[in-house]
Amino acid sequence: MSAIDVRDLLKAAGQAGAATPVPPPLALNDLPEEQAAASAPASPWLSPVVLAGCVRLAEFGGLVLIGFALYATLLLGKVPLAPRYPAAILAVAVAAVGLFQAAGCYRIGAFRALPKTALKLVTGWSLAFLMVAAAMVLAKVADHYSRIWLLGYFATGLAALMLSRAGLAAFVRVQMAQGRFDRRTAIVGGGAVAEALIHALHTAGPDSGIRIVGVFDDRTDERASDTVAGYPKLGTVSDLVAFARRTRIDLVVFTLPISAEARILQMLAKLSVLPVDIRLSAHATKLRLRPRAYSYLGDVPLLDVFDKPLADWDVITKGLFDRCVGLGLLLALSPVMLGVALAVKLTSPGPVLFRQKRYGFNNELIEVFKFRSMYVDQCDAGASRLVTKTDARVTPVGRFIRKTSLDELPQLLNVIRGDLSLVGPRPHALQAKAANTLYDQVVDGYFARHKVKPGITGWAQINGWRGETDTSEKIQRRVEHDLHYIENWSILLDLKILITTPLALFKTDSAY
């Protein structure tokens, strides 16, 4: 959840001074040489949080399986599988994983440096067995367990942990060398404060996962140098927006003093459209809060301003939900889609599907599929002209499928392909207008709705804000609902929107 509401920020920025319009992304060959090198495509990011969760789950499951496998090998047919054996296996696995967690064995640094971690693993595994053995003795049930099984479980489990961690260490070292765990970080601001922050981040070492890509500073006077602590100045904050459209940026850290409130608000208004974490450095400030008020990069204290709407397990959860439910809907609705395709094909010449370029996540261009609803020679790929109630470009079948949103069903293919989500802000065409004005010129911070993947349906649509946008108020209200969804996302909210969508389709007053 963002620490600051985007809509409140834009209002505050407007009072402090009008924000500079967000520039379009520059072509890579139009960028200065240093910025072009820094903005080269980055390797996909592996989340340390997700990796740690997967390792934790794999080790717990592996230790449980080893316990049952040894029972099947040594005792099956000789000793009944009474509840005491499963209980002991689960107790050992839970205790071991808990001790590993407490000892810091699920950090990226621990994954990479096996020699330092091996002693902690041996200690944790031994303590887990001692704890369970002590419980057996106190409960006077130790004689009911096979000593051969217990010794075998201890030795085999320890060997499996060491071998699996050796493989994990090799994997993590390779991935770290390729920058796959790096949080690509941009520094905003310059001068001595920025230099001190960069030196502090370097002191945190490679395990911090921070890779600084450059410095951005709005100052152009003699106080602004071309480099800060060896990193090039790549432009202004407006350039940072264009830069982040070209390559992956995970974190933006401000080094400006908190007293520069007006400048910070104006910069945040520009950067609020990006799907990045934004932090305010407290490294050199005189303000001192309680330690829990800060987040930390190594020992560097930061104040949280914005968080990515979706990160780590949220991305995995929503992605799995989209593809599983999307595939199920595609199979269930395939007879309906076949019927619509036949109706389109038999009533007007031309292809069944209409492909249209639209803005997707982080303003990336995606190609969206729809059933064709207009005559072929009158299709408007850029949506430069709004569709009206009696629009002669729309075919009779097209009028029906647009009103009922059946023309959107092929976008389930986009969901499975990963371009769209089932639920999210609707992707708008490139030249879409409200009252003859482009959407981003009507609504301040319009592109903040692109901080998540667009969706087939959304919070705005089920609340009646679908169809024609012939007034500026309609697109403003739609964007407000989109931002509400982004700031309050959950799987339960997605389910609510999906369940409510069929009912919302009956409200067709402005859909044509």
Residues 19 and 134 in one domain: no
- Tell me if 1 is assigned to some domain: no
Residues 281 and 202 in one domain: yes
Residue 434 and residue 468 in contact, taking contact as beta carbons nearer than 8 Å: no
Single residue among 129, 146, 177 that ends a domain in this structure: 177
Q: If you average pLDDT over each of 60-74, 202-216, 244-258, 370-384, which comes out highest?
A: 60-74
pLDDT over 80 at 148, yes or no: yes
- Tell me if 136 is assigned to some domain: yes
Give the pLDDT score at 15. Answer: 47
Residues 335 and 453 in one domain: yes
Average pLDDT over residues 133-152: 88
pLDDT over 90 at 46, yes or no: no
Residues 430 and 400 in one domain: yes
Residues 257 and 317 in one domain: no
Average pLDDT over residues 237-254: 89
Residues 346 and 472 in one domain: yes
Residues 256 and 124 in one domain: no
- Tell me if 510 is assigned to some domain: no
Residues 302 and 373 in one domain: no
Residue type, 232: P
Using CA atoms, how far apart are residues 128 and 26, in angstroms rounded to an integer?
Answer: 57
Single residue among 258, 290, 306 that ends a domain in this structure: 306
Using CA atoms, how far apart are residues 453 and 459, in angstroms rounded to an integer?
Answer: 14
pLDDT over 70 at 251, yes or no: yes
* pLDDT tens column, 354-396: 888 888 898 888 999 999 988 887 776 666 666 767 777 888 8
Least confident segment among 136-145, 320-329, 378-387, 424-433: 378-387
What are 168-171's contacts with CB under 8 Å, separation 24+? 168/55, 168/111, 169/111, 169/112, 169/113, 169/114
Residues 475 and 330 in one domain: yes
- Tell me if 511 is assigned to some domain: no
Task: Give 16 or 121, the one with higher predicted confidence.
Answer: 121
- Tell me if 509 is assigned to some domain: no
- Tell me if 267 is assigned to some domain: yes
Residues 286 and 343 in one domain: no
- Domain interval for residue 450: 313-504
Residue type, 46: L
- Tell me if 512 is assigned to some domain: no
Token readout for 217 is 């500073």
- Tell me if 166 is assigned to some domain: yes
Residues 69 and 38 in one domain: no
What average pLDDT does the structure give for the chain?
A: 83
Angle at 227 between CA 261 and CA 273, to 5 degrees: 45
pLDDT over 90 at 179, yes or no: no
Give the pLDDT score at 28. Answer: 41
Average pLDDT over residues 243-272: 84
Residues 322 and 293 in one domain: no
A 10 A CB-CB count for 95 gives 19
Residue type, 78: K
Q: Specify the number of domains making up the chain.
A: 3
Single residue among 306, 338, 366 that ends a domain in this structure: 306
8-state DSSP, 429? B
Give the pLDDT score at 494. Answer: 94
Q: Residue 286's domain is classified under what CATH number?
A: 3.40.50.20
* pLDDT tens column, 2-23: 445 555 555 554 444 444 444 4
